Amino acid sequence: MNVPTTRAVVVGIVALVAVIGAVGVGGALGPASTFAQVDDGPVNLGDVEVSAAEAVEIAEGESDGTAVELEAFTSILSGLPVWEVEFVDENGNETEVYVDGTSGDVLNVETEPADADEADDEDEANASLVEVPLRDAVVIAEGEVDGGVAVEGELFPARVDGTPVWEVEVVSADGDETEVYVDATNGDVLDVQTESPDGDDEDDEEEEDD
Q: List, in order, residues 6 or more apart from 38 with CB less than 8 Å away.
A: 8, 12, 73, 74, 76
Return the pLDDT at 192.
97
Domain encompassing residue 128: 5-209
Return the pLDDT at 121.
59
Return the pLDDT at 104.
97
> How confident is the model over 160-206, as pLDDT tens digits?
788 899 999 999 988 899 999 999 999 999 999 998 666 556 554 44
How many domains are contained in the chain?
A: 1
Look at residue 30 and give its three-state secondary structure: coil
Amino acid, single-letter form, for residue 205: E
60, pLDDT greater than 70: yes
> What string of H, E and C letters represents the secondary structure of 101-157?
CCCCCEEEEEEECCCCCHHHHHHHHHHCCCCCCHHHHHHHHHCCCCCCEEEEEEEEE
pLDDT: is 24 or 91 the higher one? 91
* Mean pLDDT in residue range 151-167: 87
* Helix, strand, coil % over all residues of the chain, rounded to 5: 30, 30, 40
Q: Report how far Cα 114 is from the mean position of its chain's Cα atoms.
A: 21
What is the C-alpha to C-alpha distance for residues 177 and 190, in angstroms, rounded to an integer?
17
pLDDT: is 45 or 13 the higher one? 45
* Mean pLDDT in residue range 97-114: 94
102, pLDDT greater than 50: yes
131, pLDDT greater than 90: yes
User: What is the band of 120 on the pLDDT scale with cuts at 50, 70, 90?
Assistant: low
Return the pLDDT at 106.
97
User: What is the band of 99 on the pLDDT scale with cuts at 50, 70, 90?
Assistant: very high
Return the pLDDT at 107.
94
Q: In what helix (H) or strand (E) does residue 192 lie, and over which residues does it extend?
A: strand 189-195
Cβ atoms of residues 183 and 190 within 8 Å:
yes
Which CATH number is 205's domain given? 3.10.450.40
User: What is the band of 46 on the pLDDT scale with cuts at 50, 70, 90?
Assistant: confident
Strand partners, 66: 88
Helix (DSSP H) and strand (DSSP E) numbers for the chain:
5, 9
> How confident is the model over 78-93, as pLDDT tens digits?
888 999 999 999 888 9
Residues 146-182 as b/e (b if ≥16 CB within 10 A, e otherwise) read eebbbbbbbbbebeeeeebbbbbbbbbeeebbbbbbb
